[in-house]
């Protein structure tokens, strides 16, 4: 699993001009899934999302987590995170999970995060979405369950 985490003042995701998920202060997370992602992956990645210390404390040091500030988490499925553009000019997406499998993996991840944190919203797998956000900082962090970056 790969996640791009953005600290936001607010974020929302829409499908067909209808907002289906929105948060105020918190993190917007683009989520790419691999076929090998499982409960162990969910545990590791959700722990990172909820407890990653990227919010300022009283001394303006990034020392507080989403949980510490009571912030929201907006999870947005994004298969292009597994795009490989090393060769040619058109990315290959073969490292990501096939859509039929990826939908279940993403749903399982969302359920896992919601089980451990109560301020979670999400986008719709397979839909054409519009994401609107105000990146706060900007602060953008990449995490990978394989710890490759």
Answer whether 122's CB lies under 8 Å from 74's CB: yes
The arithmetic mean of pLDDT across residues 101-127, rounded, is 97
pLDDT for the residue numbered 82: 94
Would residue 21 be called left, alpha or beta, if left means φ above 0 and alpha means ψ between -120 and 50 degrees?
A: beta
Please report where in the chains the tokens 């970056």 appear, as a residue: 149
Q: Report pLDDT digits (tens) over 34-86.
A: 999 999 999 999 999 999 999 999 999 999 999 999 999 999 999 999 999 99
pLDDT for the residue numbered 147: 86
- Tokens at residue 57, please? 């404390």
The arithmetic mean of pLDDT across residues 120-124, rounded, is 98
pLDDT for the residue numbered 148: 80
pLDDT for the residue numbered 149: 73
Which residue ranges form the domains of the chain, and what is each CATH number?
A: 2-144 (3.50.80.10)
> What is the C-alpha end-to-end distance of the chain, expressed in Å?
12
Q: To which H or E segment does residue 46 belong?
A: helix 39-51
**103 pLDDT more than 80:** yes
Q: Report pLDDT digits (tens) over 10-19.
A: 999 999 999 9
């Amino acid at each position: 699993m790969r996640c791009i985490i953005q600290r936001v003042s607010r974020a929302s995701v829409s499908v067909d001009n209808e907002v289906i998920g929105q948060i105020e202060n918190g993190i917007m997370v683009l989520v790419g899934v691999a076929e090998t992602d499982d409960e162990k992956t969910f545990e590791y990645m959700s722990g990172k999302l909820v407890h990653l210390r990227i919010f300022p404390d009283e001394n303006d040091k990034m020392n507080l987590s989403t949980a510490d500030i009571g912030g929201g988490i907006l999870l947005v499925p994004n298969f292009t995170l597994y795009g490989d553009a090393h060769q040619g000019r058109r990315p290959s997406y073969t490292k990501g999970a096939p859509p039929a499998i990826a939908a279940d993996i993403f749903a399982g991840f969302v359920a896992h995060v919601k089980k451990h944190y109560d301020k979670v919203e999400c986008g719709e797998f397979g839909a054409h979405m519009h994401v609107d956000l105000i990146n706060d900082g900007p602060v953008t962090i990449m995490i990978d369950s394989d710890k490759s970056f």
